[in-house]
Chains A and B, each alone.
Chain A
Amino acid sequence: MFKDPFDPKTFLGRRCSCGGRHAEADHARLTAAAQPGSPEVRGEEARWSRVVDAAVLRAVFPVDAQRRLFLKTVGRATAMAAISSVLPLGLAREAFAQGGAPEKKALKIGFIPITCATPIIMAHPMGFYSKQGLDVEVVKTAGWAVIRDKALAREYDAAHMLSPMPLAISLGVGSTSVPWTMPAIENINGQAITLAMKHKDKRNPKDWKGFRFAVPFDYSMHNYLLRYYVAEHGLDPDKDISIRSVPPPEMVANLRADNIDGYLGPDPFNQRAVYDGIGFIHLLTKELWDGHPCCAFTVSKEFATQNPNTYRALLKSIIDATAYAHKPENRKEIAKAIAPANYLNQPETVLEQILTGTYADGLGGVKKDPNRIDFDPFPWNQFAVWIMTQMKRWGQLKADIDYAKVASEVYLATDTAAMMKEMGLTPPDPSKKTIMVMGKPFDVAKPDDYVASFAIRRS
């Protein structure tokens, strides 16, 4: 922390012994801050304000001894008031931090207890929200329909959703139409197909006729990926198998009760089925599409426009937490932070296996795949277009839409890129993203041709 420049005992030297234009005491901090990605790059309003105060004081009292004498004689409050009358310190601080104080500090964010929500959840125990001056309560929610209704009812200020949900809500598909935005993806990969133990010899999807599968929600990557996968193997997902919507936490219990034969679901419930000897991991979704999006951090458009500073602070904490979760060396610490009953309520070893990618597959083998789940906030518009082609393919979306327009309105890639730049991270080039699902390339410029290229489809 920077020293308080209004404290007469503080020594504010102008030059450091290293020759740089900063105080000796600030040397270590400033040089560390120069390296992007170090923890010091993270914005901290309090620290910025002291930096600004110190700079202003130095300008007013070029000789440090005079400043200390002045402060000692008139006192801190008078000095602050006197200087503020000449130069409003508040404004200078604000300009420096590029953003005012949040309009709303006490926020409620809904989440589903799955590892996809890791950045949203861990930001609470690990202090990423409070660092931005926000007082966030993360509320565990029972299912996707409930989280959607609570978010639409403004009970939550922001919500963890599946990446197709903000598109569906904005388009009014399976919901009332409300403009919804997704400024950050939470995780990429990190899902799996889990089958009941009794099917351990039926590894070829062609043998799955009549299987009952569960997915978390109709508007989920899970649903689209499972449909895609079985359709590529010649099964019609609406006729040859049955797919039902089951809240993720209830999947393992249903698998145990033999209500379903398997599921394409989020972790920790794939690994949990293995942990309890109920099912095995047939494949990770990264084997279908490496780098596919899954869950998302979403807010209503209304909230973002009415509370621009809160929105910025929130997005900053999420990007910050996501960048932290991206680093493999932090994963064990995160597993420990989100395991308690207040968050995921799971055995720590289950979460550790998911996050580190060294896991038991349920068939007696230990597999290693560090990219089993990864965290990357960038909301590629290409993802949105792909998702909408699948909505179209399976008949969820009937009307003709302008794919690119909807994508850019909901997936706020520009906001995210600007924020990443501000935080010292390098945003990717928004146009450079290739999507390859099960070896088939996707051309974002020709979504309708893509839909028409599938033999099994509903439209």
Chain B
Amino acid sequence: MAILKNSLGLRAGLLSLLILAAILGLWQIATMPTAASGPAVDPEYAKLVGNAAATGSKAALPTPADIGATIWGHLSDPFYVRGSNDKGIGIQLAYSLGRVLLGFGLAALAAVPLGFLIGMSPLVYRALDPFIQILKPVSPLAWMPLALYTIKDSAISSIFVIFICSVWPMLINTAFGVATVRKEWLNVARTLEVGPFRTAFKVILPAAAPTIMTGMRISIGIAWLVIVAAEMLVGGTGIGYFVWNEWNNLSIANIVTAILLIGLVGLALDQGLARITRLVTYPE
């Protein structure tokens, strides 16, 4: 059994590598420099424009080798500071992570107690439901102009945007988890004359914990998606600003580097929460 499982893992790994190689190969072929086909250009003119424009075409996408070199360049010096608008990619990622964790943490502090309240009281659930339903589908970036206008601080505004986008999944999941705790358990607690607070912490919380954690996992995924967009909008620092700054320079190699790193960090965040979820889940 173990061997079969191993060999399945092995085969899956091999297949992944094969897919990667195929993608890189296709990419390399697609971005191969074509022989100069356009009309011959005045050499004085050619000096003033990029290679592609000099041969009468548009600038092409970088090859995988270009990207590799760029990634290596960033990873070998991730924490440089060359002025307030030019910092290493490690520092930018740290800024973004800091914002996400802060906004997410605040959202958790607000959503879990409120979700508990909503889940335990059908009255509150019904009263708050219309607000939640209207606010939940609003794109978090739509809040940005309002936040900038009212909060008057771009740093707090971006944290607010993270807060507002990560609060809903946690709120709804907490309420759902709390509301669907098995009635038998609550009845047992009632029979044993357990106080309401003790019931909440010793019965409901452990029972609802896996659902709450799932909500958190959804939230952090959304928060990490949103921070890039928010930072592109507001600028200053963060991985989103990095992408925007390299977009200014039409530097696709740098943007691809950022995309890969954003993906890796997102994966790490998700896996971290998945691990915590497993810790609080227990077999019935």
A residues in contact (CB < 8 Å) with B: 113, 137-143, 145-146, 149-150, 152-155, 197, 249-250, 252-253, 256, 272, 274-278, 340-347, 349, 353, 358-360, 362, 364-366
Contact = CB atoms under 8 A, between A and B. Distances in A.
B233 interface: yes
Given A142-B232, A340-B82, 18 more contacts: A137-B84, A139-B235, A143-B233, A146-B148, A154-B152, A252-B250, A277-B49, A277-B50, A278-B59, A340-B86, A341-B82, A341-B85, A341-B249, A342-B83, A345-B246, A345-B249, A360-B49, A366-B44
Contacts of A365: 42, 45
Contacts of B86: 340-342, 345
B234 A253 contact: no
B50 A155 contact: no
B49 A153 contact: no
Contacts of A347: 50
Contact of B58 (A145, A250, A256): A256
A276 B148 contact: no
A249 B84 contact: no
B63 interface: no
A140 B148 contact: no
11 contacts: A138-B84, A139-B85, A142-B244, A154-B152, A274-B49, A275-B50, A277-B59, A342-B85, A353-B48, A358-B48, A364-B42
A275 B245 contact: no
Contacts of B39: 364
Given A275-B53, A276-B59, A366-B45, A155 B235 contact: no
A76 B248 CA distance: 55
Contacts, number: 120
A255 to B, nearest CB: 10
Contact of A249 (B41, B83, B85, B248): B248
A247 B142 CA distance: 18
Nearest to A111: B85
Nearest to A360: B48
Given A142-B232, A155-B154, A249-B244, A343 B85 contact: yes
Interface in B144-174: 145, 148-149, 152-154
Contacts of B41: 364
Interface string B220-237: 000000000000111110
A153 B53 contact: no
Nearest to B248: A249
Contacts of B49: 274-275, 277, 360
B189 to A, nearest CB: 51
Interface in B221-274: 232-236, 241, 244-250
A277 B52 contact: yes
B57 interface: yes
B56 interface: yes
Interface string B60-93: 0000000000000000000000111110000000
Interface centre among B47, B233, B246, B249 (most CB of A within 10 A): B249
A275 B50 CA distance: 5
**6 pairs of A and B residues whose beta carbons are closest in the complex:** A277-B53, A342-B83, A153-B152, A342-B86, A142-B235, A360-B48
A323 to B, nearest CB: 24
A146 B152 CA distance: 11
A277 B45 CA distance: 12
A366 B48 contact: yes
B36 to A, nearest CB: 12
A340 B245 CA distance: 11
B48 A140 contact: no
B248 to A, nearest CB: 4
A366 B44 CA distance: 8
Contacts of A154: 152
A197 B56 CA distance: 10
A342 B82 contact: yes
A340 B42 CA distance: 29
A250 B247 contact: yes
A21 B41 CA distance: 63
Nearest to B83: A342
A134 to B, nearest CB: 15
Contacts of B59: 276-278
A388 B174 CA distance: 55
